[in-house]
């Protein structure tokens, strides 16, 4: 089944404790993105990647890192999480210039 998977789906952590949210797609898509969704703000793009080893900042990259060492994986790294990074995170992949396929989401709470 073609899909985008994210892990974990739910995470509660404390300020400053490094964490990684994994994202994997099995559709051989070149493009992958990370978004955060906050009430009243819609979705805001954090980072995107157009291919292996090619990443670029979205609208809200501060406090986040990404890497794209393999085509299928695009992990999101929070080196020192803070409470303002409490949010719902979505990973998405796309074959390019067409619809994006979204993962199920990761709900992160930073205490």
Partner 1 sequence: ELKVEQNPLFLSMQEGKNYTIYCNYSTTSDRLYWYRQDPGKSLESLFVLLSNGAVKQEGRLMASLDTKARLSTLHITAAVHDLSATYFCAGSSNFGNEKLTFGTGTRLTIIP
Residues near partner 1 (CB under 8 A)? 31, 33, 35, 40-45, 48, 50, 56, 58-59, 90, 92, 94, 96-105
Which helix or strand (DSSP H or E) is residue 64 part of?
A: none
Closest distance of CB 102 from partner 1, Å: 4
97: left (phi over 0), alpha (psi -120 to 50) or beta: left
Residue ranges of alpha helices (H) inside 1-111 are: none
Closest distance of CB 8 from partner 1, Å: 15
Closest distance of CB 16 from partner 1, Å: 29
**DSSP result, 40-59:** TTEEEEEEEEEETTEEEE-S
Closest distance of CB 48 from partner 1, Å: 5
Closer by beta carbon to partner 1, 62 or else 96: 96
Closer by beta carbon to partner 1, 8 or else 16: 8
Using an 8 Å Cβ cutoff, are 76 and 105 in contact? Answer: no
């Amino acid at each position: 089944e073609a899909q985008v998977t994210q892990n974990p789906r739910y995470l509660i952590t404390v300020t400053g404790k490094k964490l990684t949210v994994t994202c994997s797609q099995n559709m051989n898509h070149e493009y992958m993105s990370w978004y955060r969704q906050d009430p009243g703000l819609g979705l805001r793009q954090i980072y995107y990647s157009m291919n292996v080893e090619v990443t670029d900042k979205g609208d809200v990259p501060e406090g986040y890192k990404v890497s794209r060492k393999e085509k299928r994986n695009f992990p999101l790294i929070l080196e020192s999480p803070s409470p303002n990074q409490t949010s719902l995170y979505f990973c998405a992949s796309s074959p390019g210039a067409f619809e994006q396929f979204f993962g199920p989401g990761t709900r992160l709470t930073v205490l």
